[in-house]
């Protein structure tokens, strides 16, 4: 099954997924707004800012003209930061509205829009409505771009309320090192994807402070509990959080230095300032914004998320890291499962 696919985003994930799809035999057009990066991809077949020493398949084409990139697409994949999803969806809408065949819309982003507290599929569907474009498909799960680049064995979730769309995307991506499992719980998959970034900042903090394996295991497990509580309140299936896009993604993001969220937390634990950390990383650290979104959304919904609340206070209210941990440990005692 050969398709023409547009990948929106020239960061590490956009480049890796676009490259993989082109190697799968699809005609892939990668879109970005930096002409220098576009020229590098097309002429040198590298993207050194995001992927050191990675050779890009020469069949992958990059464009900074949206009309060219979108022309005749069977599928459009959003791989841009959460805060850019709405803007990019608005930019592509005029071109997709004119298309005779509406492409399947897919995203592989992990976050919650700060101002609206909408999940990413909700943001896309608010601009490109389901009645015209069908249900959005979500790809999520335990993965780092660097590992996929070296063809490490990877299994992810592909979710849509229209399971036939999920199955189509499953086949588009399938190869001997990249495998997708279908799910119809879009809410659960997106909530797990977004909130694990917040918990990963916490995992980095405790590592930077010098805590050991007991602490990390406790943080991840209780982090999963509050992810599940909020997800179920929003309508998710609790079983989703025991799968690839839940505990699977939480494990990989909380235990690897490849995770920007973990690195940010680790540097905080070592005494560095947040602004300096973000400048040094040089890419979006989604958990920083998501912590703010989730802190206020959980308050509105009456859901207890003490780890997320503490990370929010550390990031935005300059709470002392060690005091935050003491306060978490000294909360009122409670049963494990409520």
298 vs 304: CA distance, rounded Å: 7
106 confidence band (pLDDT: 50, 70, 90):
very high
145 vs 50: CA distance, rounded Å: 10
Res 2: pLDDT:
62
116 confidence band (pLDDT: 50, 70, 90):
very high
Res 314: pLDDT:
98
By percentage, how much of the chain surpasses pLDDT 90? Answer: 96
With a CB cutoff of 8 Å and minimum separation 6, the contacts of 250 are 192, 196, 199, 200, 220, 223, 224, 227
How many Cα neighbours within 13 Å face the side chain of 309? 14
Mean pLDDT of 216-234: 98
| Catalytically annotated residues | 196
Give 29-74 pLDDT, tens digit per residue. 999 999 999 999 999 999 998 999 999 999 999 999 999 999 999 9
Report whether pLDDT(100) > 90.
no
Report the candidate in 262, 263, 51, 283 with the shortest Cα–Cα distance to residue 148.
51
Q: Do residues 336 and 224 touch, judged by C-beta distance below 8 A? A: no
Give 304-322 pLDDT, tens digit per residue. 999 999 999 999 999 999 9
Res 338: pLDDT:
73
Determine the distance from the C-alpha atom of residue 214 to the mean position of all C-alpha atoms in its chain, rounded to a whole number: 27
pTM over 0.75: yes
């Amino acid at each position: 099954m050969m398709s023409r696919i547009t990948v929106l985003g020239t960061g590490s994930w956009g480049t890796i997924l676009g490259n993989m799809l082109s190697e799968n035999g699809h005609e892939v057009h990668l879109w970005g707004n930096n002409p220098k990066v576009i020229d590098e991809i097309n002429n040198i077949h590298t993207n050194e800012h995001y992927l050191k020493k990675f050779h890009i398949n020469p069949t992958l084409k990059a464009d900074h003209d949206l009309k060219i990139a979108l022309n005749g697409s069977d599928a459009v994949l959003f791989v841009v930061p959460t805060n850019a999803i709405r803007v990019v969806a608005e930019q592509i809408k005029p071109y997709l509205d004119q298309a005779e065949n509406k492409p399947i819309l897919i995203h592989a982003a992990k976050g919650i829009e700060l101002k609206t507290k909408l999940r990413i599929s909700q943001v896309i569907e608010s601009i490109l409505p389901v009645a015209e474009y069908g249900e959005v498909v979500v790809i999520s799960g335990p993965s780092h771009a660097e590992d996929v680049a070296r063809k490490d064995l990877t299994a992810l979730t592909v979710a849509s309320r229209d399971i036939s769309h999920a199955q189509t995307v499953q086949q588009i991506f399938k190869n001997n090192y990249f495998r997708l499992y279908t799910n119809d719980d879009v809410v659960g998959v997106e909530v797990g994807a977004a909130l694990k970034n917040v918990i990963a900042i916490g995992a980095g903090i405790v590592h930077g402070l010098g805590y050991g394996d007991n602490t990390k295991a406790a943080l991840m497990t209780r982090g999963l509990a509050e992810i599940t509580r909020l997800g179920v309140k929003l309508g998710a299936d609790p079983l989703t959080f025991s799968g690839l896009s839940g505990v699977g993604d939480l494990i990989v993001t909380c235990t690897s230095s490849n995770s920007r969220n973990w690195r940010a937390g680790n540097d905080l634990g070592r005494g560095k300032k947040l602004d300096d950390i973000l400048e040094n990383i040089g890419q979006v650290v989604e958990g920083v914004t998501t912590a703010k979104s989730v802190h206020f959304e959980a308050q509105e919904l009456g859901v207890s998320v003490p780890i997320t609340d503490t990370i929010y206070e550390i990031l935005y209210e300059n709470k002392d890291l060690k005091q935050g941990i003491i306060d978490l440990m000294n909360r009122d005692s409670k049963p494990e499962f409520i």
